[in-house]
Structure 1
Amino acid sequence: MAGAAEGTVIACHTKEEFDAQLAKGNEAGKLVVIDFMSLTCGPCQAIAPVFEECAKEYPTKGAFLKVDILELEEVAKSYNIQAAPTFVFIRDDLTLESFVGAYPDKLRNTIKEFIDNTSAASASSA
């Protein structure tokens, strides 16, 4: 499948694919949320549907990427990922925040906070 639709979680299987999706999100001024996960991790599987809901909720304001830490070790190491799941929040190539663990409310609230801050910032500068 070439090019992923907005409102979906994009699974990155190569470093090139990850870099391209990250660049695309940054260029669009979106909040890029990366779920560093593992297929063998129970909490990762438990939080996945929540992450997908968030992607559907903010299709135009967020880019939601999923990286398997065993498949893309190089990418995980570059973000100093020590455990799964780890969520990393990036805008304009800057890491705004990251946290470890499958916490649905924390995930939703952090995404909402950064997306609401963007909306407020762009509204006040318009």
Structure 2
Amino acid sequence: MGSNVFNVDSSSELSDNIITFNSTAEWNAHFNALEETHNLMVVDFTAKWCGPCKLMEPAMEEFAAKYTNAEFIKIDVDELMAVSQAFRVQALPTFILIKRGKVVERVMGVRKEELQRMIEKHTK
């Protein structure tokens, strides 16, 4: 089976397990395509200037490698403002867990253990 990597940002320093998007249109197309799947989508809303976001990057890398039945996505709120507004992101970092196109959990801040519990809850 081939890699399920779809890294839109070729200059990304992220692992191959985390998807990044540079346009709202790309995000919408991907989101709509996955709306009917049973897989969990973990969306990390972040910004380059956000210190707490950088603290959570190793955790996201770890989770993306560990929970291969979930999809991990990173959205820069400055680049995709419309997407972050659509999900009512008000603080960074914000992690939104989505299943079948619906938000099932929301974790705000540097809360690795809580995020891991929520991922485990929704990947079983």
TM-score range (shorter-chain normalised) is 0.7 to 0.9
Taking only aligned residues, the RMSD between alpha carbons, in angstroms, comes to: 1.6
Q: How many residues align?
A: 112
Letter in 2 for 1:4: F
Q: Deviations over 1:39-93 (max 9, x none)?
A: 101110010111111111122x211110001111000000011111001011011
- What SS does the corresponding residue of 2:44 show, helix, strand or coil? strand
Q: How does 1:28-47 map to 2 (within 5 A)?
A: 28-47=37-56
Once the two structures are aligned, what percentage of the paired residues are identical?
29
- Counterpart of 2:25 (choices 16, 29, 32) is 16
Give the match for residue 112 of structure 1. 120
Letter in 2 for 1:35: D
Give the match for residue 102 of structure 2. 94
More helix by share: 1
Consecutive unaligned residues of structure 2, counting only runs of 5 or more, are 8-15
Consecutive unaligned residues of structure 1, counting only runs of 5 or more, are 117-126
CA contact (8 A) 2:95 2:108 kept: yes
Residue 25 of structure 1 deviates from its aligned partner by: 3.3
- Normalised to the residue count of structure 1, the TM-score between the two structures is 0.81
CA contact (8 A) 2:37 2:100 kept: no
